[in-house]
Amino acid sequence: MASKAVKTVVKTATQYQYPWQEKLVKYKDELAKGVWGYWELGAWKPLGISARRRARLRKEVLAAGQDWTYDPARKEMRTKRKGHKVDRIAAEKRAQTAELMKKMPQILLDYKKRRWEKKMKEEDANYK
């Protein structure tokens, strides 16, 4: 009988220790205004609930398996890496050079052909 009474007391104490449902209803409007505060009539207004209490309430809601919809949307991650422009340009130049080196035999053949054709035209012009 005593253990049943202790379980009842523990159950009510743990359920009522952090009544997040009541807090969520109470601060619903404040939480919807933002994480840190909001602008109203040209003046910055902090939230009616402190950041510590907001974080605790968020943790309780998430621990209970509910959704927390008051966090702002996260930005996309940066895809452009930081670094020096010189290094980036040098890498692009190396890639371009490697590509041109693959084409080099054909470029040389075209050059030799043009040079030979020019030489032939000059010889034809000299004989006429």
CB distance 54 to 33 below 8 Å: no
Alpha carbons 19 and 61: distance in angstroms, whole number: 10
Average pLDDT over residues 19-34: 80
Specify the higher pLDDT residue, 91 or 36. 91
pLDDT recorded at residue 18: 62
Average pLDDT over residues 48-54: 85
Q: Is 45 helix (H, G, I), strand (E, B) or coil?
A: strand
| Among the ranges given (43-47, 79-83, 98-102, 103-107), the one the predictor scored with the smallest mean pLDDT | 79-83
CB distance 56 to 19 below 8 Å: no
Amino acid identity for residue 95 in this structure: A
Residue 14 has pLDDT above 60, yes or no: no
Average pLDDT over residues 26-41: 81
Of 61, 63, 48, the C-alpha closest to 22 is: 61
Q: pTM score, two decimals?
A: 0.45
Residue 10 has pLDDT above 80, yes or no: no
pLDDT band at 96; cut points 50, 70, 90 = very high
Alpha carbons 45 and 24: distance in angstroms, whole number: 20
Average pLDDT over residues 85-104: 94
Tell me what the pLDDT averaged over the chain comes to.
83
